[in-house]
A and B are shown apart, each in its own frame.
Chain A
Amino acid sequence: MLDRMLTHPELLELVNELALQRRIVGPVARDGRYFYEEVTRATDLDLTFNYCVYSPRGALFPPQETLFVFKRTNGTFTAEPVIDVRPTALVGVHPCDIHAIRLLDHVFEQDQRDEHYLSRRAHTMIVGIDCQRPCTEGVFCADMETNAADKGFDVMLYPLSDPGATEPLYGVVYGTSIGRDWVLYGRRGRIPTATDERTFEQYQRHKTDAFPRMLRMKADELPALLDRSYDSLLWEATARRCYSCGSCNLSCPTCYCFNILDETDLSGTTGRRERTWDGCHLREFAEVAGGHNFRPKAGSRLRHRIYRKAKWIRQRTGLPGCVGCARCDRACTAKINSVEIYNQLAEEV
């Protein structure tokens, strides 16, 4: 069921109004590729983007952020946490990335609440945009059941092309009262008609056939497949190509591992404790002081990442650890391909 219909110009007007209250982050074209960037005007966004090279996770979990600032005085110290409260709107988030954000929400909420993430998240509104067809070749979001999202957004836009119109017409579904208030208080759009609902049904039917199945197994069979594959020679054989560069980690929407580092002024009296993205494919990731490395081989690091994505995260959280966006596969300098890994493992059993 649709909640509202918006034309493209109406959507842009709403985003411009939102920009008065929130920092707007969305897809921006750069040399034929798309990146999530902060914009000041709705027209700077390109909502016809195929995919963004990096996921929007950086808007919620920045590559580098300050956890606290400290001051050393009289032999002791004081420290003050830094919590981001900037109102933000992420505009133009595909279903795969919405699933990934739901995982980040879970990770930073469970056990100990991480307010550095959660505060930023609480201040961030998410405007999703659905994909009627795969954004590019090689994605396996349909296999991972992440090519549609029914929660995790404030508003979801379904680009239902309006026959005869050059501008897209969006079917709108509200996810939260924040999203509904944004559309309704803006007094834009109109109530969906029976024709709109029929168009939406056709859209959904078309979508079911549009996504290819890439994996030879279902997503919920992956944990059992990996259970049988720990000692496969494929890990070492595939990782022979791996440069341990961490591009897969960098581009992954569900990678949330981080390092913690201190920065100080020259005198060392004031400074910051920073957290930075880290990646399990990097050689020193599991190294302890003294030099022992718990995962010294690229093969064991590759296995670790794939197990995390397809088994451990799913088992620990009940949420998909991989959303099938294939950013890792596209980013890999050695063309290591996760779909190929899963399908080859399936052949071994």
Chain B
Amino acid sequence: MSTEVKTGAAAEAVGRAPERDGLAPWLSRAVLRNGPLGGLIALVVVMAVLSRDFLNGQNLLNVGVQASVTAILAFGVTFVIVSAGIDLSVGSVAALSATVVAWAATGEGLPVWLAVLLGLAVGAVSGLISGALVAYGKLPAFIATLAMLSVGRGLALVISGGSPIAFPGSVGALGDTLGGWLPVPVLVMIAMGLVAALILARTYSGRAMFAIGGNEEAARLSGIHVKRRKLVIYALSGLFAAVAGIVLAARLTSAQPQAATGYELDAIAAVVIGGASLSGGSGKASGTLIGALILAVLRNGLNLLSVSAFWQQVATGLVIALAVLLDTLRRRSAR
């Protein structure tokens, strides 16, 4: 896979010492050579220069926490995008799953472990339904998951009656820290990232994702049950969304039916900034993590610099466009 070649080149370039001919040309070369990772490093350097508060441990952990929900959602979306699909429903599914957990545990008095299991199942089933609409109903993924976006959000509002439900305390620990400093959301993000990397690189479903995204007909003629795989792919996306929803609710200490609105776009942006192609067949969990971190560093840094929320939106948009543009240039020059 071309991604493996890329890793080799990146590792080589990282090992090289920066040449001493000014920051700007070094930065642009680093970005061009290493793609997403170079971009993240460049952004961190810029933020560190501009704000004294940026490069301290506590703030960097904050960045991690801010990235966690987006990253976990984006890992799930990576599966879908690698297989040349799209999932717009993950924000809604996250909110729905969290609402179900809170409703079951707080409202109905179910044991917390059962409530969490139920929440995860709701996420997976939502994905399964999207997957069935895509694979067997032959709906375009955009439409199927747009429908699920609306249905998921609606169900979350129905179940909660439109108001937040307190999150059970023991699950709420997911939003806390370990030993008073290490945020649990960051640990969950790392764990889910490793799971996503393992699925992509080493499982039947993962390898099938690349084949389906690269050439669906060739995959079918090689004996891969493309339709069944799509069910698995969208179900995984839903499952990851459920985990993200639970982590978010734990941080907020309540499940809010309107939580994670618009997060699906951040997740897609993270995947694409991370080097995946929307036309399928390429993508990596590490790239997606870097994409989510780039978005979080940008927001955090701009906050520290007291840039208004309105201008932050503008900056985020520019960074997304720039990241993908640079990646395109890099691939073209490598060809």
Q: Do A and B bind each other?
A: no
Interface positions of A (Cβ within 8 A of B): none
Interface positions of B (Cβ within 8 A of A): none
